[in-house]
């Protein structure tokens, strides 16, 4: 898929901007705090209906105005799709083909994008919450069913945690309602866990190939899904549901004592294993960065495999964080495959040699120069 046109109205420091992109590599060059990352944020938001930098919609709106609009034209194999997303203090509105969507979940998946920023290099060594967020964001684009089940699970989890706290402090006494919430939570939790397990198996296939290539055949990468259930390729959703429900039922007093849900996908993690060792605990910084790079690049092929379309690739000032070898693998991996948006303060010699005819935009104070192909 290709984002051929983007229009921003009162978004961040862009008051009114229309830009046409090349189907290949689009380079956004400028000094810091000029609006490069804001541009990628707009594309990401147009894809997932949310920013990767803030949960507060008000921050996305130019301070002089009450609403902000992002719209674009997406070229897919099935045809041309206009998209529009409006942010206000009251919430968001999304349109596909000029028709407002009753639920945002029906909008997500119209434009798929993978963001790779310096903080993504912390995917391996960072907290488990980062890896759970990674799974939810990426898998939701590939499966509307996953998006729905994960959303329902989060809603029920908040309700169950609130009720557990009320039972803990004697504000409620009825454990029957807790049983109902446990049953519903286990049903959606099982769907999320099995989907994550299956998606990670597919992701490992692509990531292991890339990792082996980047490490010059010296390292083998494996992705282990760490969950409280015992899983295998034969495990069904029904089995996972029964196992998760059993955990809730057999530990009900302990969870009431804790005042929170101690089991489920909100406790899960990914272990990245390189040559049989957990690279998070025992790997060098170079191995950790190679692993993160392999996993992020593997998303490109996984998304194509799952959706039939290549996603957009958003690279936010990531070249400056990679050495020459990893830069080379990154730049050659997406060349002539996916539409790419790359922000940088300047193109180094490696990038200039490897990027084929980039369309370069210079950004200064929220304005863009006319893109020129080099």
The answer on whether 36 is annotated among ligand-binding residues is yes
Beta bridge partners of 3: 74
332 within 8 A of 354, measured Cβ to Cβ: yes
The answer on whether 335 is annotated among ligand-binding residues is no
H helix and E strand count, the chain: 10, 16
The answer on whether 106 is annotated among ligand-binding residues is no
Residue (of 308, 306, 270) closest to 291 by Cα position: 270
For the chain, the straight-line distance linking the first and the last C-alpha, in angstroms and rounded, comes to: 23
How many Cβ atoms sit within 10 Å of the Cβ of residue 170? 7
C-alpha neighbours within 13 Å on the C-beta side of residue 144:
10
The answer on whether 126 is annotated among ligand-binding residues is no
93 within 8 A of 86, measured Cβ to Cβ: yes
Per-residue tokens: 185:
């939570």
The answer on whether 31 is annotated among ligand-binding residues is yes
How many residues make up the chain in this entry? 374
Distance, CA of 180 to CA of 59 (rounded, Å): 39
How are beta strands 91-96 and 25-29 bridged, if at all? Answer: unpaired
The answer on whether 34 is annotated among ligand-binding residues is yes
The answer on whether 76 is annotated among ligand-binding residues is no
Helices (H), the chain: 36-48, 128-142, 144-168, 175-214, 237-250, 252-258, 279-282, 285-307, 324-334, 349-354
Q: Which helix (H) or strand (E) holds 102?
A: none
Residue 208 DSSP class = H
255 within 8 A of 182, measured Cβ to Cβ: no
The answer on whether 240 is annotated among ligand-binding residues is no
Distance, CA of 294 to CA of 273 (rounded, Å): 13
Residue 61 DSSP class = B
Distance, CA of 366 to CA of 78 (rounded, Å): 33
Binding site, annotated residues: 30-37
Residue positions in the annotated binding site for ATP?
A: 30-37
């Amino acid at each position: 898929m290709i984002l051929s046109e983007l229009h921003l109205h009162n978004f961040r420091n862009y008051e009114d901007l229309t830009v046409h992109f090349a189907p290949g590599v689009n380079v956004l060059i400028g000094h810091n705090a000029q609006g490069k990352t804001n541009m990628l944020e707009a594309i990401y938001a147009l894809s997932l209906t949310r920013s990767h930098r803030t949960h507060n919609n008000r921050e996305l709106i130019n301070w002089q105005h009450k609403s902000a609009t992002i719209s674009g034209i997406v070229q897919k194999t099935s045809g041309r799709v206009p998209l529009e997303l409006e942010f206000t203090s009251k919430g968001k509105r999304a349109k596909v083909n000029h028709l407002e969507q009753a639920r945002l979940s029906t909008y997500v998946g119209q434009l798929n994008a993978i963001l790779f920023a310096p903080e993504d290099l912390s995917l391996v060594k960072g907290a488990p919450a980062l890896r759970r967020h990674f799974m939810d964001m990426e898998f939701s684009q590939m499966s509307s069913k996953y998006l729905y089940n994960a959303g329902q699970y989060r809603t029920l989890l908040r309700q169950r945690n609130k009720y557990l706290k009320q039972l803990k402090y004697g504000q409620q006494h009825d454990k029957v309602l807790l049983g109902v919430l446990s049953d519903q939570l286990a049903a959606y939790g099982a769907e999320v866990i099995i989907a994550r397990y299956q998606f990670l198996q597919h992701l490992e296939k692509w990531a292991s190939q890339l990792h082996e290539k980047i490490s010059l055949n010296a390292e083998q990468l494996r992705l282990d899904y760490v969950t409280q259930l015992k899983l295998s390729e034969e495990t069904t959703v029904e089995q996972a549901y029964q196992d998760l429900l059993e955990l809730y039922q057999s530990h009900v007093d302990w969870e009431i004592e804790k005042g929170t849900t101690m089991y489920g996908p909100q406790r899960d993690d990914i272990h990245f294993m390189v040559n049989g060792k957990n690279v998070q605990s025992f790997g060098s910084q170079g191995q950790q960065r190679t692993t993160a790079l392999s996993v992020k690049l593997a998303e490109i092929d996984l998304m194509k495999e799952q959706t039939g379309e290549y996603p957009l690739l958003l690279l936010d000032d990531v070249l400056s964080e990679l050495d020459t070898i990893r830069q080379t693998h990154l730049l050659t991996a997406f060349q002539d495959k996916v539409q790419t948006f790359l922000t940088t303060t300047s193109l180094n010699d490696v990038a200039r040699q490897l990027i084929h005819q980039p369309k370069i935009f210079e950004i200064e104070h929220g304005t863009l120069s006319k893109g020129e192909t080099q």
